[in-house]
């Protein structure tokens, strides 16, 4: 096998591994979501109220098999679960065609513009949990979409 052939094989394997990782990440994003019944029960609200929250962009949901699914990342992990503070403006900033796994990755990726008091980058989830301004996340999304 020549060096060029070996490089071609390595490139092909790397592409396959990347594709597998993308598929696994996409699947994790879809699997890490609750049905309307599950999310409403966790939040202690009626299913109809949760559906209203979705329509009003208070809670985020995507369709899977025609049914709304509510990603778990948007819920606080305090004694009484709730939607992250400031989430409605962030939800409105998501492009309609942004895949749920891309949203999951964005919300879980530290952003260089979201710094805590120690100058450490926070994820958008951490930023909202700490009570910071959601507009900072909206601005990041807007600049990302313009690039």
pLDDT per position as a tens digit, 89-140 = 999 999 988 988 889 999 999 999 999 999 999 999 999 999 999 999 999 9
Question: What does the block give as tokens for 58?
Answer: 């208070």
Contact yes or no for 33/64 (Cβ under 8 A): yes
Higher pLDDT among residues 13 and 69, named by residue: 69
- Tell me how far apart the alpha carbons of residues 119 and 112 are, in angstroms, rounded to a whole number: 9
Q: Which residue in 130, 127, 43, 115 sits closest to 82, CA to CA?
A: 43
Please, where are the H alpha helices in the chain?
3-31, 36-43, 47-55, 87-93, 100-107, 124-129, 135-146
């Amino acid at each position: 096998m020549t060096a060029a052939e070996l490089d071609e094989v390595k490139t092909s394997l790397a592409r396959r591994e990347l594709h597998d990782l993308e598929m696994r990440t996409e699947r994790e994003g879809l699997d890490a979501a609750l049905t309307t019944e599950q999310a409403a029960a966790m939040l202690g609200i009626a299913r109809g109220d949760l559906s209203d929250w979705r329509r009003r962009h208070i809670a985020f949901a995507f369709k899977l098999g025609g049914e709304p699914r509510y990603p778990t990342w948007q819920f606080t992990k305090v004694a009484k679960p709730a939607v992250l503070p400031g989430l409605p403006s962030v939800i409105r900033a998501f492009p309609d065609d942004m895949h749920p796994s891309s949203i999951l990755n964005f919300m879980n990726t530290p952003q260089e513009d979201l710094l805590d008091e120690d100058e450490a980058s926070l994820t958008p989830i951490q930023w909202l949990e700490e009570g910071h301004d959601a507009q900072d996340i909206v601005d990041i999304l807007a600049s990302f979409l313009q690039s």
